[in-house]
């Protein structure tokens, strides 16, 4: 059973590694989908420029503070998820900033590729295992 699980893990990781090699761009497909969903709200943001990367964003009668240098927003969605919230994305659209540069590094395609670099190592079959090793029994048994 363990041999089957190991083989399945090897095949699965190999498929994912080949798929990851075909990815283009800096961010993963998931981030692009999330930002596409946020664009509708981000377009409605009224952005007021502050100094040193600070902005005030008004959206649906609420106001939020966005700091592009610290990658924070007063709604805390950006800090929690690592993906810019609709307020921060609105600032990026208004200021002409690249949204890919403000996404957490864990969502980058290079980090995702790194997950599949080292696959499960193949093993030799039971015919090559050492059989002359003495068994080591437990000192006591708990019931």
Encode pLDDT of 22-66 as tens digits. Answer: 888 899 889 999 999 999 999 999 999 988 989 999 999 999 999
- Residues of the domain holding 107: 2-118
CA atoms of 88 and 75, how far apart (whole Å): 10
**What per-residue confidence (pLDDT) applies to 86?**
95
The answer to whether residue 43 is domain-embedded is yes
Q: What's the pLDDT tens digit per position in 114-142?
A: 888 888 888 888 788 888 888 888 888 77
The answer to whether residue 57 is domain-embedded is yes
The answer to whether residue 123 is domain-embedded is no
Structural domains of the chain, count = 1
**What per-residue confidence (pLDDT) applies to 102?**
92
Task: Please give the mean pLDDT across all residues of the chain.
Answer: 90
The answer to whether residue 137 is domain-embedded is no
The answer to whether residue 127 is domain-embedded is no
The answer to whether residue 133 is domain-embedded is no
The answer to whether residue 26 is domain-embedded is yes
The pTM (predicted TM-score) of the whole model is: 0.74
């Amino acid at each position: 059973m363990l041999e089957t699980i190991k083989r399945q893990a090897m095949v699965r990781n190999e498929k994912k590694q080949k798929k990851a090699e075909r990815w283009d761009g800096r961010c993963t497909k998931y981030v692009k989908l999330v930002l596409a969903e946020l664009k509708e709200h981000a377009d409605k943001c009224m952005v007021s420029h502050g100094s040193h990367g600070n902005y005030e964003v008004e959206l649906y009668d609420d106001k939020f503070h966005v700091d592009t240098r610290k990658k924070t927003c007063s709604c805390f969605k950006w800090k929690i998820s690592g993906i810019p919230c609709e307020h921060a994305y609105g600032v990026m659209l208004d200021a002409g900033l690249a949204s890919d540069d403000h996404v957490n590094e864990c969502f980058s395609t290079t980090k995702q590729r790194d997950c599949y670099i080292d696959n499960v190592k193949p093993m030799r079959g039971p015919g090559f295992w050492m059989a002359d090793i003495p068994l080591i029994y437990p000192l006591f048994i708990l019931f």
